Copies of this chain bind each other. A is one copy, B any other.
Amino acid sequence: MEQKIAVLGTGVVGQTFAERLTNLGYSVTIGTRDVVDTLSKTAPGPYGNPPFSTWLKAHETISLATFAEAAQQASVLFNCTKGDASIDVLNLAGAENLSGKLLIDIANPLDFSNGFPPSLSVCNTNSLAEEIQRAFPMLNVVKTLNTMNASLMVNPALLPGEHTVFVSGNDNRAKEETIEFLKAFGWKQANIIDLGDLTTARATEMLLPIWVRLYSTLKTPMFNFHINIGQPI
């Protein structure tokens, strides 16, 4: 039987993961607050992309359900929500539907309240990933992929040359399972750096301030951090 995955969030990041995971053979349900409301929206997305209902019709093997229904069916969840919504969304998913499951957290605690560039709503001695882990101790939270554009997350070969993805988490088995997903997306072992426990997510979330400024400077989101150690790792 296909492994069931819940993608939390209907935005471009959620769509990107849902499509890629479906193409890799997983059974994907996207979670949302209100299925009827999500399907009734007709306005284009923030990047001029089509409304969610149009996208979903073009991806007929992907299901849409409430956060709770999506989480209940799944063994693995991808947190593709905005950072300021993540805890609320997981509360809607319900602790009883999260127990013992892997949450791959790619969200960032971006604070746009003062416009662009955003600051972080939590950083330095705390992180969004740790806040999620503390709020849902029954989840195995692994932070990864949050340091680049969504299209690169699931298809690193879109950017030629070597570049790096970081992994942070408290549970080694959960990190191993996450790394299998990364490899399925196309990440080479040599470009995957396990930084250690979930406190190291502070460090990867703190890459976002330079990411957004590089986006302004380079005029493209198609770049990534590469940790050059002068030799193959």
Binding site for B on A (CB under 8 A): 119-120, 123-125, 159-163, 166, 193-196, 200, 202-204, 206-207, 209-210, 212-214, 216-218, 220, 222-231, 233
Contacts and interface: CB of A to CB of B under 8 A. Distances in A.
Contact of A228 (B195, B206, B224, B229): B224
Contact of A217 (B159, B163, B195, B226): B195
A160 B231 contact: yes
A210 B120 CA distance: 16
- Main secondary structure on A side of the interface with B: mixed
A196 B120 CA distance: 20
Nearest to A126: B119
A223 to B, nearest CB: 4
A228 B124 contact: no
16 contacts: A119-B125, A123-B123, A124-B209, A159-B229, A193-B217, A196-B217, A202-B209, A206-B209, A207-B210, A214-B227, A218-B229, A223-B230, A225-B225, A225-B226, A226-B227, A226-B228
